[in-house]
Chain A
Amino acid sequence: MKRPLEILAEEKSMRTIVSLTSAFESLSSMKMAQTKNKVLISNEFFSEVWNIYKQIRMDVMFNFGRQVDEKPIEKELMILITAQGGLSGDIDQRLIRKFREHYDAEKNDIIVIGHHGALQLDQAKIKYNLYFDMPKKDTVNVDVLMNEIKRYRRSRVFYQSYVSLSQQVIKSLDLSEVVSSMGKIADLDTLDEEKITERTYIFEPNAFAVASHLETSILRLTLAQFIYDSRLAQLASRFKSMTAAKERSLETANELHTQYSRAKRALVDVRLKESLAGLKKIRGSN
């Protein structure tokens, strides 16, 4: 049996872990509230741009803003959006698992965003073509990513989506399908608003240039939206794992405290027994 002082030291270090996990939990909660608020604000912006795009769409063949004579690489580009650091629970592991279900080294190239995802790929001995840090600031510059996407025939994004505080799901979406599905809504004449055509609008410099620019913009915004959603999901996952870690460490600390009380009591009992035995001996000799 451990000595009471040893158990007390263990309890003390466990209490430190409780404080640390509690601090991380509060930090995640605060950051999550800020991020959630920003995502809500940005959604209004995105939906308004989407709405214009839906009205201006001329066909449903989305081509990533490529020129007609540009020949794309006949591979599917896989973009993995993961957390920058650890302490995000199992969300990145789940994403990598889902990615591996689709991955074929011959048919796919990989771009990974976030250091934690890159580490996971290294551990799985999967080579990636490009790596980017997960953006920290609000403004996300996805231009470099866009240039890469344009080079490929197809692109698929694996990202983490926030459903609720307790639920974050891994999504895998084909980029061209996401964008063209919005165009199809316009084709079905389900829009209440007037369509944007050369008869109803003045375009500057011209309708084709604006539509082409908007196509690129919509891709840029879609990617940015995936990154914001992933960021929120990662924070929620971190909050969830920190809450679980705090509860576990608190339970262990309480358990250690009980063990300490028992050990202390046992020590007192032993001493009492020894004193009584000594007393008996003295009385017996008299």
Chain B
Amino acid sequence: MVERQVASTGEFVEVPDKQVEDLQGKGHKGPTMQVKVYAPFKVYYEGEAYSVTAVNESGPFDILPKHRNFLCMLLPCDLVVETPAVTQTIKVSRALMHVKADKVTVFVDV
């Protein structure tokens, strides 16, 4: 059983098996980047990831490895981090994303 944590409530919820299977079926083997999603008192995710998906004023977007330096305000959304193990979804209401040299940092509640 795989669990994901809901950022707004801190609760752990079960991820449906199908979603896990789909992700595993994708057989990600591409390059990864370092991702850290955190708030002042809580680290939601820290580690390797294939991609990060979020929403800003222009709409939904993905960050992949080798992305250009990027600084962006996020809109309230489900931030999706595709990690080698599982897809992690984190609900954010206010956040700032900073991308530099294959390192993605999402400051939640900023």
Residues of A within 8 A of B (CB): 38, 41-42, 45-46, 48-49, 52, 56, 138-139, 196, 200-205, 209-210, 213-214, 217, 220-221, 224
Contact = CB atoms under 8 A, between A and B. Distances in A.
Nearest to A211: B71
B39 interface: yes
Given A204-B56, A205-B56, A224-B40, A210 B110 contact: no
A214 B58 CA distance: 19
A217 B96 CA distance: 10
A45 B69 contact: no
Given A48-B105, A221-B110, A202 B96 contact: no
A138 B40 CA distance: 9
Contacts, number: 65
B102 to A, nearest CB: 15
A42 B105 CA distance: 15
Contacts of A221: 40, 110
Contacts of B72: 202-204, 210
B41 A42 contact: yes
Interface string B17-42: 00000000000000000000011110
Contacts of B50: none
B11 interface: no
Interface in B34-79: 38-41, 56-58, 68-73
The 5 closest A-B pairs by CB, nearest first: A204-B72, A42-B40, A201-B69, A205-B57, A217-B110
Given A46-B40, A224-B40, A200 B69 contact: yes
A41 B40 contact: yes
B51 to A, nearest CB: 17
17 contacts: A38-B41, A42-B40, A45-B38, A45-B40, A56-B71, A138-B40, A196-B71, A200-B69, A202-B68, A203-B70, A203-B72, A205-B73, A210-B71, A210-B73, A214-B96, A217-B110, A221-B110
A203 B71 contact: yes
Contacts of B73: 204-205, 209-210, 213
Nearest to B108: A45
Nearest to B74: A204
B79 to A, nearest CB: 15
B55 to A, nearest CB: 11
Nearest to B57: A205
Contacts of B105: 48
B109 interface: yes
Interface string B72-110: 110000000000000000000000101000000101011
Contacts of B70: 201-204
A267 to B, nearest CB: 61
B5 to A, nearest CB: 16
Contacts of A45: 38-40, 107
Contacts of B68: 201-202
B69 A49 contact: no
Contacts of A201: 68-71
Contacts of B56: 204-205
B58 A204 contact: yes
A250 B38 CA distance: 46
Given A56-B71, A204-B57, A204-B72, A48 B107 contact: yes
